[in-house]
Chains A and B, each alone.
Chain A
Amino acid sequence: MQVEDGTDERRLVREAQNGSGPAMARLYSLHWRGAYRAAYLVVHDAAAAEDIAQDAFLAAVDALDRFDRRRPFRPWLHRIVVNRALDWARREALRRRVDGAESVFEPLPPPEGIGGELMAALKELPAEQRAVVVLRHLLEYTPGEIARMLELPRGTVNSRLRRGLDRLRAAAETEEFAEERR
């Protein structure tokens, strides 16, 4: 697999396995933003997203020597990120049900700027739908690849995508309507 600037990702992995700090640094800088952003868009909590992205990279470092160089690094990392983000979101939902209350701290407001309504709508989706939307439309995996990453039937991925997009589309239309009225 070729990464964005044409560097051979397999070569970076091989060099990192052989002790090259700059190769590991390059892998980190290539993939941090996507990993952190994906985690944030699933959990909508900056501290948790930071933990999740960090944990994913630490898992990558831990497994570096065992990593099969024939496999691409990026989906392997994103699989860890999204699965951990889903675990966190499920635990948080359970905690809220058990505690019967929100966190005592104010949640951060939805980010302003492009797609504010869209982001708010994304946050309202069930975590499972958020995850497939993020994998498909931020990280640009195919439904088949998402199905393998999340160990789900492809039909389940497609239905989650469809439901998620339907709700986001409704939010986008509301936003467009609001824009027109301004």
Chain B
Amino acid sequence: MRDELYRALRNVAVPQEAGAEERGQRIVEAAYAEQRGGSSELRGAMTPPTSEGRSRQPLPRLALALGIATLLTALLLSPAGAAVRDWVGEVVESSAPKPEPELARIPGGGRLLVQSAAGPWVVQPDGSRRLLGDYEEASWSPRGLFIAAAEGRTLSAVEPDSTPHWSLTVAARVRSPRWSPSGYRIAYRAGDELHIVAGDGTGDHLVNPDTAPVAPAWSPYGTPEVAYVNSEGQLRIAASEKRASRSGAPPDMAGAVAGRDTSQIEWGAAGRLVLEVSPGHLHLQRMRLSKLEGRSEFGTRTELAIPAGASVVDAAVAPERRTVAAVITHWRQHGTTSQVLVFTPRAAKPQSLLTVPGSLGEVAWSPDGRRLLVAWPGPNQWLFLPVGRGKPRAVANISTAFSPGERAASFPRVEGWCCRR
């Protein structure tokens, strides 16, 4: 019996085993590359070495520390570093502020939605926080009355005090739920499909059966339109109240070619811009509203230049203004530096708000567009940076704030800063 059981357990046909292994390898490889180098340049690090590409040799810790300490100097002295300095202006004048020991308040007010390994947390203006439940992803409703949360194949709407309202279970893993500005609809990805469901959990329907793994973005114009990237890498606009046809054709109204490897889109600046983010590029797709037809049209598309060799970690367009904040990373042999850049329409060069050694994480605008929250996982801090006048602030011990009682807490991710009243 025991031998038979062993054979049965070892040999039983497990569905999708090979595909799962391949997908898992890509994800683990990306996570390992990110953790080792903080850069997409290390993607493929798990691939066995060839004559062309050997694995990175271990770097002694002392050398690494020295390398980080001298990196800024080296950056300025090298020709490439001088180019970077000229390009962004005040590279080394900026420095991170001295951190406060714990999150006692949110500078500028508002509420934060923060995803930790245990699930999403809602942080109140006074720094108090509540764990919503065991969800993998979450995002605010437009006025912060609800949160759309995903766990496995289930999409749920919950109140910020964790009271559940409804749940919907679908065929594939739910990703990237995004609530429309009107509050009437939620767009989300289920596997490769883009779906839209009403804000009360009814009327779930397919919009496109084959999309890229990029979160959808709603029009802030107030029109029922959602932007997404299809599997061919095209930025598309769909009418949210319409369904895909029986043949699977999406109810698209407009399409434009998105940049290659687009990993993120944001529809901001009161509807006037769609920001396309990829590891090597930032593109702005200008949008205008066709008043006769009540829908959006594509305008010109331009690229925001970033320094050569840098990669984009995250970017966000301001809620009301044509201003884009971006976190970029320069990876070098002896260490990494990261910068927070702010692009404004009239300036020839972006403004550098901050340069630090190591890797920065995601960036989020405050609801009033006056501050940025930037994650800094290495020293376990959040940075609150004023855009314009004001004093920068830093808060330390972030991971332990969202993993109470755990000795080895992972750094959480800021999912949203809510909400403009």
Contacts and interface: CB of A to CB of B under 8 A. Distances in A.
A28 B56 CA distance: 18
Contact of B9 (A15, A49, A104, A137): A137
A24 B32 contact: yes
Interface string A1-41: 00000000000000110111110110010001100110011
Interface stretch (B19-27, B138-146, B205-213, B280-288): B19-27
A48 B151 CA distance: 10
Interface string B3-24: 0111111111111110011011
B274 to A, nearest CB: 31
Contacts of B173: 47, 51
Contacts of A46: 14-16, 20
Interface stretch (B45-53, B98-106, B350-358): B45-53
Given A47-B172, A105-B171, A33 B46 contact: no
Nearest to B15: A46
A50 B48 contact: no
A138 interface: yes
A147 interface: no
B172 to A, nearest CB: 7
B58 interface: yes
A107 to B, nearest CB: 11
A66 B10 CA distance: 32
Contacts of A37: 9-10, 14, 17
Contacts, number: 155
B46 A25 contact: yes
Contacts of B45: 19, 21, 24
Given A20-B55, A22-B48, A114 B17 contact: no
Given A64-B35, A105-B171, A111-B12, A137 B24 contact: no
Given A62-B31, A66-B408, A118-B8, A32 B55 contact: no
A133 to B, nearest CB: 8
Contacts of A108: 15
Contact of B28 (A18, A28, A87, A134): A28
B406 to A, nearest CB: 11
A152 interface: no
B49 A138 contact: no
Nearest to B57: A19
B55 A61 contact: no
A113 B4 CA distance: 13
A30 to B, nearest CB: 12
B39 to A, nearest CB: 13
B36 A19 contact: yes
Interface string A124-137: 00000000011001
B124 to A, nearest CB: 27
Given A54-B27, A172-B4, A28 B46 contact: yes
A119 B12 contact: yes
Interface string A47-76: 111110110011001111010000000000
Interface in B384-398: none
Interface in A126-162: 133-134, 137-138, 140
Interface of B: 1-2, 4-17, 20-21, 23-25, 27-29, 31-33, 35-36, 42, 44-49, 55-59, 134, 152-154, 167, 169, 171-173, 408, 410
16 contacts: A15-B58, A19-B45, A28-B28, A40-B15, A41-B9, A41-B14, A48-B152, A62-B31, A87-B134, A99-B167, A104-B169, A105-B171, A115-B4, A119-B8, A134-B9, A172-B5
Given A63-B408, A113-B12, 10 more contacts: A19-B59, A21-B42, A22-B55, A24-B45, A46-B20, A47-B172, A54-B23, A95-B154, A114-B11, A115-B11
